[in-house]
Structure 1
Amino acid sequence: MPRLFTALEIPAEIGESLARLRGGLSGARWIDVENYHLTLRFIGDVDDRTARDVEHALYAVRRAAPIVTLGELSAFGGDKPRAIVVRARPDPAIVELQAEQERLMRRLGAAPEARKFTPHVTLARLRGASPMAVADYLSARGYFPSLKFSPTRFVLYSSRNSVGGGPYVVEAAYPFAARREEAVA
């Protein structure tokens, strides 16, 4: 049974900038640069028939490419930190793309996504990292300059049943209908 999710790929040059944030935190398992992505909809473990239905349903998504702005180094988990992430600004085009995919998945019988959509790129998964160590890591990184890009497509990834972090395989790619006119800096 494949484990599926949809995502925006992170361009290599953005990934290399994000990779410079790795290190200096005990208990962190850093994600390989080639596995950086911005998850849109986690679908989960599905049978082969459902996987084919998901793949075909996503071809109905026809949208202009969003502008992705990564702009805040952060952590998820509060008093029990579980991940170091870079948050993306919740641009309306990204939120609408995710919402459309959520509707499609629900029509196919998938359970509603339990968590509120928070666009981000996971840099590390944490095990046993103290809140103080995470706070020290974040404060040591100081200013985080915004990184912008406009993806050319979104993808359907599969992953093996593991603790996360890849490797991920692109099962299908869905080009955006047109690029937004906004300049990407």
Structure 2
Amino acid sequence: MIRAFVAIEPSGETLDGVEALQDRLRIGRAVARENLHVTLAFLGEKREDDLEELHHALSSIRAEPFRVRLSGLDFFGGRSPRVLAALVAPEPRLQDLHDKVRRAARAAGMELARERFRPHLTIVRFREGLHGAALHEARETAAREALLTVPDFHVGEFHLYRSTLRRDRPVHDILATYPLG
């Protein structure tokens, strides 16, 4: 079984800006540069032949390239957040690509969890979740930094990834790339 997802990858200039932001935040555990992505669909554990079927469906997607802009920070995980993410500004072409990827997965026989698409780039993780004074301090720090800008990026392709969970951090490997346009 292969743990997999479909995502877009920010440009180097955007990644530089996110790393600078992570350094300024000094909270939690920064997500490694090579693991920064915007998930279009989390697939979970899949058999290799199912991913091959999905590969063919994803190869048929037609969509125009677009730009992505990060627009603030938010905590995910309810009352005791485990993640700080950079939110993606609304972009109809990103939503359209997300919808097409989900349709391709269904066409390949995959069932995906029903969830609202809230595009984001996870930038910091908190091992135990935040609460109390630590959460208050993290929210203040994030609010100060949320006004700083990170360069937007061009999306000209999307990827099918394998995710290998390791004790120290996950490792994401690109299995296939699908150009837009």
Q: Do the two structures share a fold, i.e. TM-score over 0.5?
A: yes
Q: CA deviation at 1:144?
A: 2.6
Q: CA deviation at 1:113?
A: 2.8
Within the alignment, does 1:24 sit opposite 2:37 as a pair?
A: no
The 3-state SS of whatever aligns with 2:13 is helix
Aligned equivalent of 1:156:
160
> Contact 1:71–1:147 at 8 Å: present in 2 too?
no
Once the two structures are superposed, residues 51-98 of structure 1 have per-residue CA deviations (whole angstroms, 9 ceiling, x without a partner) of 111111100111111211111122112311111110001200000100
The 3-state SS of whatever aligns with 2:152 is strand
Aligned equivalent of 1:173:
177
AA matched with 1:155: H
What is the aligned residue count? 175
Q: CA deviation at 1:116?
A: 0.6
Q: Which runs of 5+ in 2 are unaligned?
A: none
> Contact 2:9–2:37 at 8 Å: present in 1 too?
yes
AA matched with 1:115: E
Report the Cα distance in structure 2 between the residues aligned to 1:86 and 1:171, rounded to whole angstroms: 25
Report the Cα distance in structure 2 between the residues aligned to 1:114 and 1:30, rounded to whole angstroms: 28
Aligned equivalent of 2:91:
91
The 3-state SS of whatever aligns with 1:41 is strand
Report the Cα distance in structure 1 between the residues aligned to 2:14 and 2:177, rounded to whole angstroms: 20
Between structures 1 and 2, the one with greater helix share: 2
Q: CA deviation at 1:127?
A: 2.2
The 3-state SS of whatever aligns with 2:149 is coil
AA matched with 1:113: A
Report the Cα distance in structure 1 between the residues aligned to 2:55 and 2:168, rounded to whole angstroms: 22
Q: CA deviation at 1:165?
A: 5.3
> Contact 1:73–1:86 at 8 Å: present in 2 too?
yes
TM-score by length of 2: 0.88
RMSD between aligned residues: 1.8
TM-score by length of 1: 0.87
| Change in 2 beyond 3 A, CA 1:81/1:31 | same
Aligned equivalent of 2:115:
115
Query: Identity over aligned residues, as a percent?
Result: 27
Q: Which runs of 5+ in 1 are unaligned?
A: 178-185
Report the Cα distance in structure 2 between the residues aligned to 1:51 and 1:45, rounded to whole angstroms: 10
Aligned equivalent of 1:79:
79
Q: CA deviation at 1:161?
A: 3.5
